[in-house]
Amino acid sequence: MSNLEQTLSIIKPDAVERNLIENIKSIFIKNNLNRYHNSFRTKMEKGNIRVIGGKWKGKKISFPLDSNLRPTPDRAKETVFNWLGNDLSGYSCLDLFAGTGAMGIEALSRGASRVDFLEKEKIFAKNLDNTLKDLKGEVNSIIYNKDFRDWFKLNALNNLYDIIFIDPPFNQNLIKEVFDCLAKTKIHFEKTIFYLESESNLDLSFIEKEFEVVKKKTMGRKCYRLLKVKTI
């Protein structure tokens, strides 16, 4: 097998979606394909995902490749928005740990009247700003380039959101901090739906004391949930 054939057999078309870029790079080096690795690295400085529903269906969203970014796979997005409903007209949403902005943009594409994004990394926030400017039609959004802890202290959720997307970086034990911040706002979230993406092996029993798990699905190493505040 030629080097080129080896290279093509290594690369998978869904590599970005499955967060396999770093694995692929290491395989290039391990198999003495440095020449192709360098070319691959140059070409893959940006990744692409696509909007899967609504008025922008099929539109590609570019983003800087980074091992900390985990764009939600299309199959998972389809499941989540089937749960939420494909028509989100009039909904106000918050995309915490926005990253590529994929979930919030899907909501906008499906008619959400407002989506705010929170992303602490400047490069991702700037890329998201450019993405929103590139979308056709008026977009009612604010991008907050802040750490979620600082944002909750300063903003205190001045807007009451219908849907809050929560997809923090893995392996950093941030989920409990997020829900502690939500509790400190003293806002009643009885009508808010929370989308939570986490590692599938994570113990989140503390959440289920206060929240009802409306929907739940595990795909590989990830778990996707819809939550609502329990009512007496």
Q: What is the pLDDT of residues 169-214, one digit of tens each?
A: 988 889 999 999 888 886 778 889 999 999 999 999 888 888 999 9
pLDDT of residue 66: 76
SS3 category, 115: strand
pLDDT of residue 90: 94
Q: Are 84 and 165 in contact, with CB atoms under 8 Å apart?
A: no
Backbone angles phi, psi at 5, to 5 degrees: -65, -40
Strands 46-50 and 60-64: antiparallel
pLDDT of residue 157: 66
pLDDT of residue 231: 79
Strands 211-219 and 222-229: antiparallel
Which residues of the chain have a pLDDT value below 70? 1-44, 67, 156-159, 186, 232
Which of 44, 34, 97, 48 minimizes the C-alpha distance to 68?
Answer: 97
Round to whole Å and give the CA distance between 159 and 92.
9
Round to whole Å and give the CA distance between 123 and 135.
19
Round to whole Å and give the CA distance between 155 and 132.
22
Record the pTM: 0.78
pLDDT of residue 173: 87
C-alpha distance from residue 23 to each of 3, 8, 147 (Å) = 18, 15, 28
pLDDT of residue 214: 95
Give the pair of three-digit tokens for residue 51.
């909007």
pLDDT of residue 154: 81
pLDDT of residue 145: 95
Identify the residue whose tokens are 């205190």.
Answer: 156
Dihedral sign for Cα 160, 223, 97, 81, please: negative
pLDDT of residue 22: 59
pLDDT of residue 18: 56
Indicate the DSSP class of residue 162: S
pLDDT of residue 137: 74
CATH numbers and ranges of domains, the chain? 3-44 (no CATH), 67-229 (3.40.50.150)
Round to whole Å and give the CA distance between 110 and 152.
27
